[in-house]
Each structure stands twice: as C-alpha cells, then as structure tokens.
Chain A
Amino acid sequence: MVTLQFVPYHEIEDLGSARRVKKLIDIVKENKIVLLQGRLKKEEETDLISIAMEEIGEKFKGIELAVINPEQKDQTGLKKVRSNFFGMLLGDRQGLTVVGPASIVKEIKQDPNKIELLTKEVKKGKKK
C-alpha cells in the first residue's frame, strides 16, 4: 500500500528553510509520499537533497523528487503578464512538489506538466 500525504502551503509558509525541509524529510522517512502544495525555494530544493543524503542508511535510501511549475516559458503577451501577476500574488504557492522515499518510488517522470510516478514492488520477506 502506498500512502500519499497532502501538505498545504500554509503548513510550511511560516517555517524557516531548515524546518520546511525537515518536515518533508520526516514525512518521507515514514514511507509516505508527500504532495506539497506549491514549491520550495531553489536553495531549499538543494537543502532537501543534501539532508536526504545525510539521512541515507540501512532503511532510508534517499528520495525521488519532482516539481510541477506552472510558469510557462513559451507564454507570450497578455498570458505572460497574467501569469507573472498571479505569480507575484501567489508566490511559491503555485505548482506542486512531490517527494517520495526512493525505497517506494522508483522514478518520477515529468513532461513537464504531467507527472508519472512509478513505484517499486514492495518485498514482503526481507532477506537477512
């Protein structure tokens, strides 16, 4: 069974970068896939990777990460102005961030407006 946990943006809005990252990692370490409303800051994304690396051990193998960003690079004219306006209003609330434990999520493919999440088959009996 795969558990998805939705984290609304307001739950991380007032947290500092370190606590935001820790909150997401803590959920992922419970073998849940996080669906975060919005995006982390660019520096927080690399912090997330760094912390995930530091946490790697016998059980935790790292993370799979994907960010859907609604900013359209090929937008022009009025659409671009409108998109920038909403971007200013909503900030990092736009988009969706998916973080899952690498032991469960095999791969996340982006297209870039579509996410395909491939999960691993869970082994019932662990080898000793």
Chain B
Amino acid sequence: MINIIKAFINKVLRSLFKKKKNIRLGLYGPPNGGKTTLANRICKDWLGEDMGTVSNIAHETREIQIKEQISIKSKGKELTFNLVDTPGIATKIDYEDFVKAGLKEKQAKQRAKEATKGVVDAIKWLDEMDTVIIILDATKDPYTQVNITIVGNLQARNIPVLIVANKSDLKKADVKKVQAAYPQYNVIGISAKFGNNIDKFYEGLFALAG
C-alpha cells in the first residue's frame, strides 16, 4: 500500500516537473561504462563545455556531479533538464586493483575510500531522479547482477529508463546482446567518445522525457 502511495506521489511530482520542462536526469551504471564521457558529450553539444574528468582507471567519478539547466532541441521541441552524473555502482572495491592500475598505495586507499562513499551516494540519489539513462559498456556482459539490480530498482520506483549501449565504436561491442538482455527497454547503441549515433540518443531522450 505504501509503495502504491509512493508511486502515485512520484508520478504526480514527475508530471509537475515535466510541465516545467525541468527534469532531473540521472546517469547510472557500473564503473567505466562511460557515464562521464556521455555527460561531457551532452554538455559539449549543448553548453560548449565539459562536465567532468574521465579516466581508464575505474571510479574516476566519486562524487555526484550536477550540471543545471541544460536545454536540448530537436524537431522544434525543447527539453530542459538538470544532468546528474553519478559514481559507478559496484558491489566490491579493493584498493589493490587501483595499485595494479598504477596508483601509489596511499592514493589507491584514498580512492577506494571515496569510491565506496560514491556508490552509497549514487544509490541514495536514485529516489531523486525523474528519468534515468543507464550506461552500459557494450563490450562487456550486460547480464551482471549490478545492472539487473539498477534496472530492477528503477522499475520498482516507476522511473522511466533509457539504456545506452556505449563504446559501439569498439570491435568487441555487441549492442544486440545488450538489447537482448533488456528487451523491455529502448536500448540505443552509441559511442559517447566519438558521438556515433548521438542523434538517435537525443531522439530517445525526447521520447522518454520530452
């Protein structure tokens, strides 16, 4: 019963936000899927500036980053949103992995500490989102428990979801595999780094939140 009331309130609030055309759009996914690369792509396309730094070492984004009032336009329509880039969600973090990636032990321990807090914050923020884009690395197995848990939680909260199969420029990328894993969602293959298929992504965003 409480869930039904909560879902109803969320729906009403979301419809109010939609009317204002100022929604909170969250970027979620496992570490190193390309969330910040996509955030930078969106910000560069519409604001002419980057949002955050990217790195090959996982958990580069360890704090919630917000870029307010991004307006995108397509086919005479306009959509304004606050973009929320979140730390990658993981179930385990070992500082030794960062040491192997080239960091010094002290830096690695600090990164691990911040990364664990980042995951907790990202999960807390799930309730604050009006619409979510889940960014998955199309070169990796899409059927991991972290991905399933993120998708399931958003479904339980009635939050609209668009799935992006990122890194489609890479040889190993398999967008169809991501689509097959989440057939109930619109899955769009893109390369956030090079901008491949980004127009389709914006169309999908309008269809979801516009």
The interface residues of chain B lying within 8 Å CB-to-CB of A52 are 91-92
The interface residues of chain B lying within 8 Å CB-to-CB of A66 are 145
Surface stretch bound by B, among A14-22, A41-49, A84-92 = A41-49
Contact of B119 among A49, A61, A64, A67 (CB under 8 A): A49
The interface residues of chain A lying within 8 Å CB-to-CB of B8 are none
Cβ contact within 8 Å between A67 and B123: no
The interface residues of chain B lying within 8 Å CB-to-CB of A102 are 91-92, 94
Q: Is A70's CB within 8 Å of the partner chain B?
A: no
**Interface SS of chain B:** helix
Contact of B91 among A42, A62, A73 (CB under 8 A): A62
Q: Would you give the 0/1 interface string for A73-111, flagging 1 where the beta carbon is closer than 8 Å to chain B?
A: 100000000000000000000000000001000001111
Complex Cα distance, B148 from A111, in Å, reads 12
Asked if A61 meets B94 with Cβ closer than 8 Å, knowing A46-B126, A110-B143, the reply is yes
The interface residues of chain A lying within 8 Å CB-to-CB of B92 are 52, 56, 61-64, 102
Asked if A56 meets B116 with Cβ closer than 8 Å, knowing A49-B89, A67-B148, A102-B91, the reply is yes
Q: Is A8's CB within 8 Å of the partner chain B?
A: no
Complex Cα distance, B143 from A66, in Å, reads 10
Q: Would you give the 0/1 interface string for B125-144, flagging 1 where the beta carbon is closer than 8 Å to chain A?
A: 01000000000000001011
Residue of B nearest to A99 (CB): B91
Complex Cα distance, B123 from A110, in Å, reads 23
Complex Cα distance, B143 from A103, in Å, reads 22
The interface residues of chain A lying within 8 Å CB-to-CB of B143 are 110-112
B residues with CB within 8 A of A: 89-94, 112, 116-117, 119-120, 123-124, 126, 141, 143-146, 148-149, 152-153, 155-156, 183-184
A residues with CB within 8 A of B: 41-43, 45-46, 49-50, 52-54, 56, 61-67, 73, 102, 108-112
